[in-house]
Amino acid sequence: MTVTHTTFALERSYAAKPARVFAAWADPAAKARWFGSGGTHELDFRAGGRELTRGRTPDGRDLAFASVYHDIVRDRRIVYSSTLTVVDTLATVSTTTVEFAAEGEGTLLTLTEQATFLDGGEEPGWREQGTGDWLAGLGEELRA
């Protein structure tokens, strides 16, 4: 039985105003395009609202990423907590803050995640890489 605690922060610059970047998080269809893993995605974007993404690992195991939104400040900040479950086994619990700041004509997005990884169900490096991948997907969504 192991517990690993980590914190990481990622920054990305996007050539879109904060309102547009924020909207890509808030709109269920847009978020499903850049965040989804090819499985199902549900989003109730409001304080107290929930998000659920279901999919499969590369080796075919069921996974679910579930979030609850705690704080939303339009065009400025989102704070949520999440769990990742793989085949009914809790793998991670995390708290994430996403900040949107004007940067010239675009946006500087800063995502900070504090996570607890349980019993090797997920590795911190995997989470950071996966988060970076979906932020790249957000960039593609904004360019479309």
- Judge if pTM exceeds 0.85: yes
Q: Percent of the chain scored above 90 by pLDDT?
A: 83
Query: How many of the other CB atoms lie within 10 Å of CB of 115?
Result: 21
Per-residue pLDDT of 69-109, as tens digits, reads 999 999 999 999 999 999 989 999 999 999 999 999 999 99
Predicted local confidence at residue 124, as pLDDT: 87
Report strand pairing: 40-43 vs 89-103.
unpaired
Average pLDDT in the 115-130 region?
A: 89
Chain position carrying tokens 């609850």: 68
Report whether pLDDT(57) > 90. no
Is residue 45 within 8 Å of residue 69, measured between CB atoms? Answer: yes
For 126, residues 6+ apart whose C-beta sits below 8 A from its C-beta are none
The residue ranges of every structural domain in the chain are 3-143
Nearest 10 degrees: Cα torsion 141, 102, 10, 81: -80
Average pLDDT in the 3-13 region?
A: 97
Predicted local confidence at residue 37, as pLDDT: 66
Helix (H, G, I), strand (E, B) or coil at 66: strand
The single-letter DSSP state of residue 48 is T
DSSP one-letter string for 85-116: EETTEEEEEEEEEEEEEEETTEEEEEEEEEEE
Predicted local confidence at residue 121, as pLDDT: 80
What pairs with residue 80 in β-bridges? Answer: 69, 96
First-to-last C-alpha distance (Å) of the chain: 45
Q: Which CATH superfamily is domain 3-143 in?
A: START domain (3.30.530.20)
